[in-house]
Chains A and B, each alone.
Chain A
Amino acid sequence: EVQLVESGGGLVQPGGSLRLSCAASGFTFSSYWMGWVRQAPGKGLEWVANIRQDGGEKYYVDSVKGRFTISRENAKNSLYLQMNSLRAEDTAVYYCARSEDYGPHFDYWGQGTLVTVSS
């Protein structure tokens, strides 16, 4: 059974940093693109970033470029999102998702982890 479990969310002050993790199981992690999608409270879905199987290709939404870094460790079946210079508008539930390609073909999702940026 495919499982994606996010962790690392919490309360952080504006300008602070946080690292999200996603533990994958039930499939060959190194064979899939992976991504992060977020959802602000009461709002719609917003794609954040995608990463290729070998980590050699990455894409980001403009609003996080230069602040967020997506990475993966295939040996540990883990996906990460390093978030720096956090802003109030980054407050959201962050979902980890598996993708068949670089596009929005997210066939499995985690349960999400809440990030709150507030003083």
Chain B
Amino acid sequence: QSVLTQSPSASETPGQRVTISCSGSSSNIGSNYVYWYQQLPGTAPKLLIYRNNQRPSGVPDRFSGSRSGTSASLAISGLRSEDEADYYCAAWDDRLYGVLFGGGTKLTVL
């Protein structure tokens, strides 16, 4: 069971906006940066958002991240079929002294 909690699934229609949430605690999200990864079927994960809300070069601005207290969110606007993937949040945990990944959210674009 992951210490970072994500809803197992989300779905939305093309062109719409979807938000994926990640809930943690004061020892991880509450005091450290949050990262988001996209994993397309059969491929390695890809860094989507770093340090709460920064996008690596090449990541479209349709993807945005935010953090508030001990929770974080990934928003995807203008949904496309190619956004159908698993999305994971991650953060360092000061109490466990290690990296935590959320359980992942499977996004379906209807």
Contacts and interface: CB of A to CB of B under 8 A. Distances in A.
Interface centre among B33, B45, B90, B98 (most CB of A within 10 A): B98
A95 B101 CA distance: 14
A32 interface: no
Interface size on A, as a range, is 20 to 34
Contact of A59 (B33, B47, B51, B98): B98
Contact of A47 (B33, B51, B100, B104): B100
A50 interface: yes
B92 A45 contact: no
A107 B44 contact: no
Interface of A: 35, 37, 44-47, 50, 59-62, 95, 100, 102-107, 109-112
Interface of B: 2, 32-33, 35, 37, 39, 44-47, 50-51, 56, 86, 88, 90-92, 96-104
27 contacts: A44-B86, A44-B101, A44-B103, A44-B104, A45-B45, A45-B90, A45-B101, A45-B104, A46-B101, A47-B98, A47-B99, A59-B97, A60-B98, A61-B98, A62-B96, A103-B33, A103-B91, A104-B90, A104-B100, A105-B33, A105-B47, A106-B37, A106-B47, A107-B47, A109-B44, A109-B46, A111-B44
